[in-house]
Amino acid sequence: MKLSVLAERRIIYLVLFVAVALPLLFPIGWKTEVSGYTQMVYDLVENTPENEVVIISFDYDPSTMTELQPMGEAMIEHAFKRKQKIIATALWPMGVQMAEQAFDKVLKDYHDKQRGVDYVNLGYKVGGMVTIQAMGRDLKEVFPTDTRNTPYEEIPLLMNVRRLKDIAWVSSLSSGVPGLKEWMMVARDSYNVPVTGGCTAVSAPGFFPYVNEQQQLTGLLGGLKAASEYESLIGRLGSATTKMDAQSIAHLLILIFIALGNIKVFAAKRRKNK
Amino acid sequence: MKRSLPLFFAFIVGFIVLLSEFIPHSPFNQIVSTLEGWFMIISGFAILLGQISLIRMNTHKIAHRLPNWQYHLAGLISFALMLSFGLLWGMRETPGILGDAPGIQAWLGLKPFDYLFDNAYLPLSATLFSLLAFFIASAAYRAFIIRGLESNLLMITAIIVIIGRTSIGTMFTGWLPENLQFWHFPNLADFIMEYPNTAAQRAILISAGLGIVGSSLRIILGIERSYLGGDK
Amino acid sequence: MISIMNTIGIWLAAFFTLCIFSFLYKDNPFYKFAEQVFVGLSAAYWLVYIIYSIMVPNLFAKLATDFSGNIILLIPAALGLMMLMRIHPKMQWISRYPIAIMVGTTAGISMLRYMKSDILQQLTATMINPFAADTPAEIAGNLLMIIGTICGVYFFYFSKKQEGVSKAVSKVGIWFLMVSFGATFGYTVMARISLLIGRLDFLLGDWLHLIK
């Protein structure tokens, strides 16, 4: 039975839909191993002393939140566990809302954390690399207030923080430009502040060269799998871990599609040769 | 004047930025610090320019009843609604012109801006990009065909990475003894990412970096003028 | 009342999700409607945040609280207004000044940052002793890294025709690039599938309550 191209495409879509939906409805509980890159990120946060101020920059929008939001929640929880103070910033406007949602979710288990004392959301600024460079000189000039319009000097957390060098580490969760690369170029290579972070799986291969002896990046969380690895390291059953079964089945399906496509082409070639 | 003066400004500004890297003292550091602050404000106006262009384009299509004008009207209405909510009552922690809208929050649960963001913008944005999963599955079936040595290399690497970055890879080769752990799919995938992938990506970074340095120099020296637009 | 509005919100989100998914069958009015609503909401979101995150705190609030002390901010404000002149065809030339300042600043900063991060640091990271490693796999990997980087960079040298030995070096570079593209394809598959999983998680969990 010869199917039209359109019919074939619709069957592929339907099969993929079912293959992804079933493991979500009936979880399998497969385990994943932690990679070295994720371990590096974990070790950076774990080995930073208490009361140090850190930056988590939410440089993404809702289109990539499935991969990056679990990373943000896990890093916030880990930093809270280690009693570090978090400054949330955003180089993408939607990042502000993503940061608020991540804090709302984690704070359900950390009622004692106070805004302004343990964490603060300084909001969004446009300008990418130029803005980060400005933050390197004077954080207050870039962020005169936080998202509640509280002046910089009235926020207890920021009392001893004037520029990037006062920060213990920076984590950028990014899905494009501006994002992790810009933070690395300015915060790490100019101001020597350790930079780590997460990115979508699409951009991960391009970031691996920066994880080197010079430690341009201290580890990297690349994609949903890395997010689930980080969750397992901090002992959290988060949204990334529950989705890994569906991810594995879908990957298997893609390989089957590739095999079927090649079989179809070779069979057609053989028929043609005969 | 209309072209030469802007080129001169680009040269002066670029030169001062370059100089401040080597002489990070007064007055260069203060000039660059001021420039960086101004950059943010001017960028804000640039984004405002984009919004104005979008509104003009949509109103033109609606006014002249061009094809699909009804959808552009829906877009304009959603723009006006979201803008009004944001300006009047602000978002999450930020108060608007009329304050924080406690009355509206009491029955909506959120500010109107955040309600629209969570229940309209967020699902639209996330779903639009999730369509790509279907397209990549379709492309894997139709276009990913073995042809020669190079496509074989691509295919084999892709298969190792696709299997190695999931739980299936752990299961397939988890039984291998200690001395053969290199062939364990997750370890193989990590090896590929850490060495050959890094080598190739590094080559791309170095080459692209040289290109960016060259084009930045061309812009500062006024050789590259395309950013100024047409000759009017 | 809040729970009713919450339920309405979830149904609204599900409606928009299904409108976008309907495109998989074929282009239709629901998809077109959802697409334009997305454009409108996105534009408004950006504008609101530009006003509240940049214009108000970094410009208007500073001028309002201490005008004489911040009078210099009138310059970027004026430059910003000059940028808006781009709308008028006859006044477009005025926008060249702020554009030139922005482009000049970006060019200066980019040149330095890319020179350090993407050229010097990457070259330094390649200049390693490949035999100073613990395992044979790491030694092999280090050698692959050095050979791959050199051959890859050579592939991008287009100023001279590549023939003979140079063609062989370039060929090796292409092989490394193919391995990288294969790895990138694998990661791209992972990324795209993740996005779909997120939406199905919402539809099956938050909307239909089928996921426990």
Q: pLDDT for B176-199, tens place per residue?
A: 888 888 899 999 999 999 999 999
Q: Are A123 and A147 in contact, with CB atoms under 8 Å apart?
A: yes
Whether residues A226 and A267 fall in one domain: no
Look at A224 and C188 and tell me if their CB atoms are within 8 Å: no
Phi (first) and psi of residue A107, to 5 degrees: -65, -15
What's residue A102's pLDDT? Answer: 96
Whether residues A225 and A156 fall in one domain: yes
| Residue B1 reports pLDDT greater than 80 | no
State the pLDDT confidence band at C133, using cuts at 50, 70 and 90. confident
Q: Which of A14, A214, A220 is the best mutation test for C, with the most CBs of C within 10 A?
A: A214
Percent above pLDDT 90 for chain C:
83
Nearest CA in chain A to B125: A63
State the pLDDT confidence band at B24, using cuts at 50, 70 and 90. confident
Whether residues A68 and A197 fall in one domain: yes
The answer to whether C195 contacts chain A (CB < 8 Å) is yes
| DSSP 8-state symbol, C160 | S
For residue A194, the tally of other CB atoms under 10 A from its CB is 18
Amino acid at site B93:
E
Q: pLDDT for C83-129, tens place per residue?
A: 999 888 888 899 999 999 999 999 999 999 999 999 999 999 999 99
Q: pLDDT for B27-77, tens place per residue?
A: 888 899 899 889 999 999 999 999 999 999 999 999 999 998 999 999 999
How far A188 CA lies from chain C's nearest CA (Å)? Answer: 9
**SS3 sequence, A166-207?**
HCCCEEEEECCCCCHHHHHHHHHCCCCCCEEEEECCCCHHHH
Nearest CA in chain B to A251: B162
User: Which among C29, C104, C151 is the nearest to B10, CB-wise?
Assistant: C104
Whether residues A53 and A145 fall in one domain: yes
Q: Which residue has the tokens 């499935």?
A: A66
The answer to whether C131 contacts chain A (CB < 8 Å) is no
Helix (H, G, I), strand (E, B) or coil at C133: coil
Look at A35 and B190 and tell me if their CB atoms are within 8 Å: yes
**Which two tokens mark C42?**
């996105």
**Of the ranges A192-201, B21-30, B40-49, which is most confident?**
A192-201
What's residue A1's pLDDT? Answer: 62
Mean pLDDT of all residues belonging to chain C:
92
How far B151 CA lies from chain A's nearest CA (Å)? Answer: 12
Q: Which of B28, B114, B166 is the best mutation test for A, with the most CBs of A within 10 A?
A: B166
Instruction: Count interface pairs B-C at CB distance under 8 A.
Output: 397
Q: Using CA atoms, how far apart are residues C41 and C44, in angstroms rounded to an integer?
A: 5
CA quadruple A77, A79, A80, A86: dihedral positive or negative? negative
Closest CA to A261 of B139, B108, B172: B139
Whether residues A113 and A137 fall in one domain: yes
What's residue B230's pLDDT? Answer: 67
Whether residues A107 and A208 fall in one domain: yes
Compute the C-alpha angle C166/C169/C171, nearest 5°.
110
Range of the domain at A253: 1-30+240-274
What's residue B231's pLDDT? Answer: 57
| Residue C163 reports pLDDT greater than 90 | no
The answer to whether A101 contacts chain C (CB < 8 Å) is no
Whether residues A174 and A132 fall in one domain: yes
Look at A126 and B167 and tell me if their CB atoms are within 8 Å: no
| Residue B136 reports pLDDT greater than 80 | yes
**Which two tokens mark B98?**
């009329």
Amino acid at site B16:
I
Chain C residues near residue B11 by CB distance under 8 angstroms: 104
How far A52 CA lies from chain C's nearest CA (Å)? Answer: 26
How far B193 CA lies from chain C's nearest CA (Å)? Answer: 7
Whether residues A71 and A167 fall in one domain: yes
State the pLDDT confidence band at A127, using cuts at 50, 70 and 90. confident
Compute the C-alpha angle A214/B189/B209, nearest 5°.
40
Q: Could you tell me where the DSSP H helices lie in C51-164?
A: 61-65, 74-84, 96-114, 121-126, 136-155
How far C164 CA lies from chain A's nearest CA (Å)? Answer: 30
Nearest CA in chain A to C190: A201
| Residue A228 reports pLDDT greater than 90 | yes
State the pLDDT confidence band at A249, using cuts at 50, 70 and 90. very high
Q: Are B51 and C43 in contact, with CB atoms under 8 Å apart?
A: yes
Q: Using CA atoms, how far apart are residues A231 and A251, in angstroms rounded to an integer?
A: 21
| Residue C200 reports pLDDT greater than 60 | yes
| Residue C33 reports pLDDT greater than 90 | yes
C-contacting chains (≥3 CB pairs under 8 Å)? A, B
Chain B residues near residue A260 by CB distance under 8 angstroms: 141
C-alpha distances (whole Å) from B102 to each of B89, B106, B108, B112, C99 are 10, 6, 10, 11, 42
Look at B86 and C195 and tell me if their CB atoms are within 8 Å: no
For residue C19, the tally of other CB atoms under 10 A from its CB is 22
Chain C residues near residue A126 by CB distance under 8 angstroms: 50, 53-54
Nearest CA in chain A to B168: A248
Mean pLDDT, residues C125-154: 94
Whether residues A178 and A269 fall in one domain: no
Mean pLDDT, residues C188-204: 94
Whether residues A130 and A263 fall in one domain: no
Decide which of A272 and A218 is more confident.
A218
- Total-model pTM: 0.92
Nearest CA in chain B to A20: B133
Whether residues A14 and A82 fall in one domain: no
Q: Using CA atoms, how far apart are residues B62 and B67, in angstroms rounded to an integer?
A: 9
Whether residues A11 and A72 fall in one domain: no
Q: Using CA atoms, how far apart are residues B58 and C164, in angstroms rounded to an integer?
A: 58
| Residue B218 reports pLDDT greater than 80 | yes
| Selected residues 176-205 of chain C with any CB under 8 Å from a CB in chain B | 176-190, 192-193, 195-196, 198-199, 202
Nearest CA in chain A to B160: A255
Q: Which of C118, C146, C153, C187 is the best mutation test for A, with the most CBs of A within 10 A?
A: C187
Mean pLDDT, residues A145-161: 94
User: Which among C37, C72, C152 is the nearest to B75, CB-wise?
Assistant: C37
Element (H, E) at C184: helix C165-201
How far C98 CA lies from chain A's nearest CA (Å)? Answer: 14
Mean pLDDT, residues B212-232: 87
**CATH number of the domain that A113 lies in?**
3.40.50
| Residue A132 reports pLDDT greater than 60 | yes
A3-12, A41-50, C199-208 — which is least confidently predicted? A3-12
| Residue A240 reports pLDDT greater than 90 | no
Residue A77: HSE in the Cβ half-sphere, 13 Å Cα cutoff: 22
The answer to whether A211 contacts chain C (CB < 8 Å) is no
Q: What's the total number of domains in chain A?
A: 2
| Residue B232 reports pLDDT greater than 70 | no
| Residue A2 reports pLDDT greater than 80 | no
| Residue C170 reports pLDDT greater than 60 | yes
Closest CA to B231 of C87, C79, C92, C103: C92
Complex ipTM: 0.90
What's residue C115's pLDDT? Answer: 95
Look at B17 and C104 and tell me if their CB atoms are within 8 Å: yes
